[in-house]
Structure 1
């Protein structure tokens, strides 16, 4: 590990100012420290934000939840309101990593964690995300876990978060603070697709710190998180589906779906949801939705299997959700 400077921030504005000057935010460190040890990331300075007042889960005036960016994954998954009214989020969090990691990982850090593409972690390999302009070794290499949606000719990395998938299905918004003030944006708008600049992963500006996530009021209908992975614990999703579905009089009346393991960001396609509204739950209905989801899907050899797997996983998730909602 290379030498670096370290400072603790006492306020969000102090943290933002230090980061704007070149420092990297440090919270739980469950991803960052690994990347520093491997010299995938080599920040010259770290600013520790763990002492900031961002550790609370609070009700909003709109009957939703405000989740501080430093709330740990364990605390959020086990929060009484989350378990009772946002079970898809609790289930997604509990399906990710180990207890020890969940005890350290934070809400803000989880949203911003880096891809687990093996070539991103291998500094001897070509990787446009780590070293722009060097190429993408994954295109013709070991790409089993990588993206089939939203990728580009420059990068096929996937976003690894389970939590972000559930939050996107719930319509979460992200609150930030930076040197020039704060803003609030839809979680889906936080991320950038790789295009020809896969090294730029979010719309956050230099020094902009995520301070909270806002969940809207609990949605009507059944909630579920279905995750397909290589082993039962501590494995990233090959395909995951976070869903909220309501059924009345034998017809689907609302559907909110987000997908993990398929794309460079937690993926949502509103056309998939629209195709379900007003339809009776059936294999034909579910397959029609899957056709829309996967219309532009593209495999790269080892990950070709993800396309039929995504269809089966969506079908399973929708069947479970509709049965429970009815």
Structure 2
């Protein structure tokens, strides 16, 4: 690992002033950044530790919903009573990711900003447009069984690794940040980018921004939400496919539904076509399968990841059947 400077931010204004200096990176839990530094993928000249900033609380605003500080640990998020009772898919998604030790260190803001686990991104000897724009994408003809089937581009087929982001997509959460022009917020749906011709850019945040928290809106539908993850081994593994879902069935018909898929795209994939197809449809397996197939019609699998199409269809049907009263 190359030498770097280290300093602690005393307040948000100081953090923003420091990040404006070239070669500077924010450090929260460090569970992703430090690994990338060891691999030579990230090479900051200076780390700014955010641990003293006032963003480590979960609050219940008077208007409802939840306000989650960016420095709340994944462990504290997953075990918080309000999260578990009102937004259970969020707690389940966090518990499905990493080990207990990593969850104790990892933060909400860092979880959303973690980089892809594509092996070509992590190997500096390989061509990767996300790590080194213009070099190519060795993954397309290489080992890509766990990479994207939706929303990819010829430049990049990496997937977003965050379980939490998938659940937040179903909750229509907003991400709050301090940017060059002051405080602002963006829907979680607009936070992440498709790769297009700029796969090196993961999010739409202005350069030098500091995530301060996540707001979950009041959502009665979320109380029955669930998260399910399929992976190559039983624990401590990134998803081959995952789903967060909230379902409201009345008189045998789907009154409302929200679904997001993980491990299939550059971002958590909110299934807008699936949801439109299901609202008003009979709440049974056949309807769930047809709706999933309508969403998956846009999939463009490569040689070794076409299995994700039946995987996501079957995962959707199985979870929605389990949630159907």
- For normalisation by structure 2, the TM-score amounts to 0.97
Q: 2:182 and 2:283 mapped to 1: Cα distance?
A: 46
Partner of residue 10, structure 1? 10
CA contact (8 A) 2:180 2:206 kept: no
Structural RMSD (CA): 1.0
Q: In the aligned structure 1, how far is the partner of 2:107 from the partner of 2:146? A: 24
Show the counterpart of 1:312: 314
Distance in 1 (CA, whole Å) between partners of 2:219 and 2:102 is: 27
Runs of 4 or more above 3 Å deviation? none
Q: Which runs of 5+ in 1 are unaligned?
A: none
Cα shift at 1:158: 0.2
- Counterpart in the other structure of 2:244: 242
| Deviations 1:68-87, CA, capped at 9 Å, x for gaps | 00000000000011111111
Gaps of 5+ in 2: none
Task: Give the drift of 1:162.
Answer: 0.4
1:279 CA displacement: 1.1
Is 1:144 matched up with 2:145? yes
Moved more, 87-96 or 290-299: 290-299
Aligned to 2:20: 20
**Residue 225 of structure 2 aligns to a residue in which SS?**
strand
CA contact (8 A) 1:170 1:219 kept: no
Say if 2:231 is the partner of 1:229. Answer: yes
Q: CA deviation at 1:271?
A: 2.0
Hey, what's the Cα distance between the residues in 1 that align with 2:57 and 2:83? 13
Scaled by the length of structure 1, the TM-score of the pair is 0.97
Question: What residue in structure 2 maps to residue 133 of structure 1?
Answer: 134
* CA drift at 1:178: 1.9
Task: Kindly indicate whether the alpha-carbon contact (under 8 Å) linking 1:224 and 1:244 is maintained by their aligned counterparts in 2.
Answer: yes
Q: Which residues in structure 2 correspond to 1:63-78 (within 5 Å)?
A: 63-78=64-79
Aligned pairs, number: 323
Whole-angstrom CA distance in 2 between matches of 1:29 and 1:204: 20
Partner residue, 2:291: 289
For residues 265-280 of structure 1, what are the structure 2 equivalents within 5 Å?
A: 265-280=267-282
User: CA contact under 8 A between 2:244 and 2:259: conserved in structure 1?
Assistant: yes
Give the corresponding residue for 1:210. 211
What SS is found at the alignment partner of 1:238? strand
Deviation of 1:165 after TM superposition, in Å, equals 0.4
Could you say which residue in structure 2 is the equivalent of 1:98?
99
Superposed CA offset, 1:158-182 (max 9, x none): 0000011001111110000023201
Query: Displacement, 1:308?
Result: 1.3
